[in-house]
């Protein structure tokens, strides 16, 4: 099995480790490939670099990676792609992997599982992942999502503080940033379920392997806000990119305007849209439930297998 990952704070690395540990313990051969951009991304992020990464994330213009740590002809039965979200898109190192000739060769004809760990908005990024996996000829079997349980408005403060300063702790009554420790520990259940599925060669079929494990839980209200945000990000990213490349001074004035727009949206439109959806929820509830079920495919939020694989 090939497990591909990239993590800056170590959060996604920890989740990746929890998922793959039961597989290695059961005797499956797991190759962990940690992606290394040729020019490393900083962590914590200097503020200008953080904003300047935006257009390329959305437009999927990924800077190159160092060569993979794999023999040229390596071949795997299953591929697990662990990524985080940057600006509603897959983080650039994962995009670079999926766009590379080597990444595409590895994925061709293979069953793939995606794992995301982010603040709380991963739907657009997962749509991009699905597209890139299909382009490479891979078959997406399952998707697992880990998000920050904090209130969406609180995480608009705690997540940027974390990635810009490295400080993850709670402060001023706000919760600590990131995925809760008990959820990270619970990631082991996916490794246990996968071990059993692989023992029965179920990865060769087309059915999801991780149903009943509460692999994803979608908040359909956030999904609506995310859709609006994604549309605006598309326009802004093309505009800023037209003004210059990453690192060039001449696009900085536009980046500043984008930043002001982003902050204005977060403090006005996001709470307003959440309030409106809350007020309208009795009318919208059946439509939101349909949307939720649709967006939770293929692995779903059911929990009928939780007890079996929990400890």
Interface residue list for ligand FMN (CB under 6 A) = 7-9, 11-12, 45, 50, 53, 84-88, 117-122, 159, 163
Closer CB to ligand FMN, residue 156 or residue 309?
156
What is the smallest separation between the CB atom of 201 and ligand FMN, expressed in angstroms? 32
Closer CB to ligand FMN, residue 4 or residue 121?
121
Closer CB to ligand FMN, residue 8 or residue 126?
8
Closer CB to ligand FMN, residue 12 or residue 210?
12
What is the smallest separation between the CB atom of 203 and ligand FMN, expressed in angstroms? 26
What is the smallest separation between the CB atom of 254 and ligand FMN, expressed in angstroms? 17
DSSP secondary structure letters along the chain: -EEEE--SSSHHHHHHHHHHHHHHHTT---EEEE--BSSPPPSSPPHHHHHHTHHHHHHT-PPPBPPPSS-TT---S-EEEEE-EETTEE-HHHHHHHHSHHHHHHHTT-EEEEEEEESS--HHHHHHHHHHHHHTT-EEEEEEEEE--S-HHHHHHHHHHHHHH---S-BTTBPPSSS-HHHHHTTHHHHHHHHHHHHTTGGGSSS-S-TTS------HHHHHHHHHHHHHHHHHHHHHHHH--TT-GGGHHHHHHHHHHHHHIIIIIHHHHHHHHHHHHHHHHHHHHHHHHHHTTTT-S--TTHHHHH-
Closer CB to ligand FMN, residue 45 or residue 190?
45
What is the smallest separation between the CB atom of 178 and ligand FMN, expressed in angstroms? 6
What is the smallest separation between the CB atom of 121 and ligand FMN, expressed in angstroms? 4
What is the smallest separation between the CB atom of 125 and ligand FMN, expressed in angstroms? 7
Closer CB to ligand FMN, residue 58 or residue 198?
58
């Amino acid at each position: 099995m090939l497990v591909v990952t990239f993590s800056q704070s170590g959060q996604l690395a920890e989740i990746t480790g929890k998922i793959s540990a039961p597989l290695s313990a059961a005797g499956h051969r797991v190759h962990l490939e940690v992606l290394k951009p040729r020019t490393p991304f900083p962590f914590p992020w200097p503020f200008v670099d953080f904003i300047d990464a935006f257009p390329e994330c959305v437009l999927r213009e990924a800077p190159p990676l160092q060569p993979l740590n794999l023999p040229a002809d390596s071949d795997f039965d299953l591929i697990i792609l662990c990524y985080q979200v940057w600006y509603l898109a897959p983080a650039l190192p994962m995009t670079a992997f999926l766009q590379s000739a080597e990444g595409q060769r590895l994925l061709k004809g293979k069953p793939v599982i995606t794992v995301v760990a982010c603040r709380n908005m991963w739907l657009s990024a997962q749509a991009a992942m699905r597209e890139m996996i299909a382009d490479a000829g891979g078959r997406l079997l399952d998707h697992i999502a880990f998000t920050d349980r904090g209130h969406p408005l609180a995480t608009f403060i705690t997540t940027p503080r974390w990635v810009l300063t490295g400080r993850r702790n709670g402060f001023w009554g706000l919760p600590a940033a990131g995925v809760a420790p008990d959820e990270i520990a619970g990631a082991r259940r996916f490794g246990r379920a996968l071990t059993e599925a692989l023992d029965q060669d179920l990865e060769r079929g087309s059915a999801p392997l991780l149903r009943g494990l509460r692999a994803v839980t979608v908040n359909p209200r956030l999904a609506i806000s995310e859709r609006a945000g994604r549309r605006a990000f598309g326009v802004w990213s093309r505009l800023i990119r037209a003004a210059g490349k990453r690192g060039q001074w001449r696009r900085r004035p536009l980046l500043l305007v984008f930043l002001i727009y982003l902050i204005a949206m977060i403090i006005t439109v996001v709470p307003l849209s959440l309030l409106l959806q809350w007020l309208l929820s009795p009318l919208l509830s059946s439509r939101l439930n349909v949307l939720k079920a649709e967006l939770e495919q293929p692995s779903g939020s059911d929990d009928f297998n939780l007890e079996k694989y929990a400890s």
